[in-house]
Structure 1
Amino acid sequence: MINAESQLFATNTSTLPLILIDFDQTITLQDTIGPLGKFGVNFTQNTKPWSYFVDSYLQEYKEHRKHFFDLPKGDFKAFVAQLDSYRSIERASQERLSQYKVFQGVTRQALTDQANLLRAEYLQPGVIDVLQEYKDQIRIISLNWSKDWILGFLKELELSKDCIFSNDLEFDESGKCTGNIIPTILTTGDKQVAIDTFRQQFKTIYIGDSLGDIEALIKADLGIIIGNDRSLLDSLADFGQETEQDIKKPSSLYRVDTWDQIRSLLQQHRSI
């Protein structure tokens, strides 16, 4: 699928870089997985409260971290492998949601409608205006559980689902969710598999906010960090990656606070 849609992009805009963007806390101010899960629990009047799923995830996460060991200094490959080791935790969380049918019966329209209700509260200021200018170049790469949910937040862009690479809910022939989540992107490594496919053909700009974006930010032709996630910034420094905060200075890796700054950087890097 990636190769086919990449060829279509190449036909129309072959000289432009692809803009690959994380969703939660990059396009949005806050993580939207919680609101999505709460919506499912409320919609299905589930036997388990949302707190059950959160607490189960956190307990498994903490238990997993107990088995970590100190990594060789400067070993980026080992660091990424450690991040990818959370795959089993993420998958177990999705399987738990599927087991309890948290989203069973939810329609695509219900998901987009609920996302629409949250847009004003959750979207980063100015993000839609910036993305409108580049919507043919945009690909969303996310650990979120629903493409329809993401599209609901980005309705003005009228993106195709082919432009979103994420996990997704499964639907039956009647258009209602079976309750199952289809796993596609569970870790930073999964993100990078999708990104590397693009990088074989195009220059890439990657925009992200957290430690899960570290490999994509480093490997992109231009990496842009929004926000001030210390775990990400400290880890980049540990691996000798200098992060530039003055968008007027040349760099391949920037840290910014707003989407207005990202607009300026995209204008400067229309071609890479």
Structure 2
Amino acid sequence: MYIAIDFDGTLTAKDTTELIAKVGYEDERRRTKLVPWELIVDSYLHDLEEFRDNWEKEPAQNGEDAGTRLLRYYKELEVVEKKSITRIEEAGVFRGITNVESALDIAARSTEFRPFAIDVLEAITKCERFQVQIVSVSWSGQFIRSSIKRESAAVEPEIISNELTVRSSTSTGSMTSLTPCAVRYRPRSDSQLYTSHDKLDFILKWTNGIHNWQSDGMYIGDSTGDLKPLITARWGIMIGDSTSLITALQKLGYTIVPYSQIASSTDEKVVYKLESWNQLLLYGPVKSILENCVLSFDISEKN
């Protein structure tokens, strides 16, 4: 069984982008020379609003229904994300940081995880019947790895994510590298992770095609940045209360069902909603497989 899991807002209690950004502003001498982070964020939000306004004025393409148009909207948001990355690179936010891996390790100490998230991650990564990947549009796989390691040295999931470019322990300022695992499953030579469509492309390379993903894949995410893998996996699972994700799913004709009802649901267009990570151990396919897995992890402790 393939299990792909988003990081920010899914495993974590909140987005960690700002924690990574702070690495570039930690040194006071650097900070005084950089564009304030607040201005970079404001520029991103302005671009996002402008993109939305222009999209609303643009007519649908020939033969395009509402659902197809909605998915195209989230795919084409890539232009906003790319522009933001270029802005940060040109500002030199991550350029010339020595011992950047150590700086990311320190920043990771402030990561807050959702209750039971690491417990569940530890359980499923110990079972040989699961293939597990963290799939994220985060800027730093090193940050993700350090955040998880800080909570549990036993958890070593593979990570498909972007990465800061580092040469001789010093960051170059480029944000277009990938984690080793992402390089292995890179669908194209120029592929990066910006949107949910990109996430799905990497996932399908990992699972050797859409058939394996649709028949034996589980995706867990919290936002519209997870939309495409959520609706294509056999088991699409959301966590949290993102109104934009719920609205998008409903527009696409999906029913949102409590995860506790996973065994009784017969609707093909369904996304399940986790109330807490420990529910994954109490219901559904993960519970069934774990019961037949030899583990040093006691599932009953989480009941």
**TM-score, normalised on structure 1?**
0.84
Query: Rg bigger for which structure?
Result: 2
Give the aligned partner of residue 88 of structure 1. Answer: 79
Q: How far off its partner does 1:145 sit?
A: 0.1
* 1:77-126 deviation digits (Å, cap 9, x = unpaired): 322111111111111111111112212214212202220x213xx21111
Choose from 112, 115, 135 the match for 2:105: 112
Q: Using CA pairs below 8 Å that are at least 6 residues apart, which structure has the higher relative contact order?
A: 1
Cα contact 1:86–1:187 (8 A) shared by 2: yes
2:188 aligned with 1:188: no
Whole-Å separation in 1 of the counterparts to 2:13 and 2:228: 22
Looking at structure 1, the residues matched to 5 and 206 of structure 2 have their Cα atoms a distance apart, in angstroms, of: 13
Q: Is contact 1:41-1:48 (8 Å) kept?
A: no
CA contact (8 A) 2:67 2:251 kept: no
Q: Is the 8 A contact 2:105 2:147 kept in 1?
A: yes
Q: Which residue of 1 aligns with 2:94?
A: 103
Alpha-carbon distance between aligned partners in 2 of 1:249 and 1:168, rounded to the nearest angstrom: 36
Three-state SS of the structure 1 residue aligned to 2:175 is strand
Partner of 1:54: 41
Aligned match of 2:148: 154
Per-residue deviation, residues 32-69 of structure 1 (Å, max 9, x unmatched)? 00121123222342421110110111111111111113
Q: Percent identity, aligned pairs only?
A: 29
- Counterpart of 2:272 in structure 1 is 254
- Distance in 1 separating the partners of 2:117 and 2:164: 26
Shift of 1:127: 0.8
| Residue 158 of structure 1, CA deviation | 4.4
Going from structure 1 to structure 2, the CA distance change for 1:269 and 1:64 (only over 3 Å counts) comes to farther
CA RMSD of aligned residues (A): 2.2
Q: How does 1:121-160 map to 2 (within 5 A)?
A: 122-135=112-125, 137-155=131-149, 156=152, 157-159=154-156
Query: SS at the partner of 1:254?
Result: strand
Q: Does 1:178 align with 2:172?
A: yes
Q: How many residues align?
A: 249
Q: Give me the whole-angstrom Cα distance separating, in 2, the residues matched to 1:178 and 1:219.
A: 37
In structure 2, the gaps of 5 or more residues are 178-191, 291-303
Secondary structure of 2:80 counterpart:
helix
Does the alignment pair 1:39 with 2:23?
yes
Q: Distance in 2 between matches of 1:91 and 1:185?
A: 10
Q: Structure 1 stretch 36-45 or stretch 142-151: which is displaced more?
A: 36-45
Equivalent position to 1:198, from 198, 202, 206:
206
Q: How does 1:23-38 map to 2 (within 5 A)?
A: 23-38=7-22
Question: Taking structure 1 as reference, are residues 42 and 52 closer, same or farther at Cα in structure 2, changes over 3 Å only?
Answer: farther
Instruction: Quote the offset at 1:224 in angstroms.
Output: 0.9
Provide the residue aligned with 2:162 in structure 1.
167
1:209 CA drift (Å): 0.5
Residue in structure 2 matched with residue 12 of structure 1 by the alignment: none
**CA positional deviation for 1:73:** 8.5
* 2:51 partner amino acid: H
Asked if structure 2 preserves the Cα contact closer than 8 Å seen for 1:222 and 1:253, the reply is yes
Q: Give distance in 2, aligned partners of 1:192 and 1:267.
A: 21
**Equivalent position amino acid for 1:170 in 2:** T
In 2, are the aligned partners of 1:74 and 1:239 still within 8 Å (CA)? no
* Displacement after TM superposition at 1:246 (Å): 4.9
CA distance change for structure 1 residues 58 and 164 in 2, over 3 Å: closer, same or farther? Answer: same
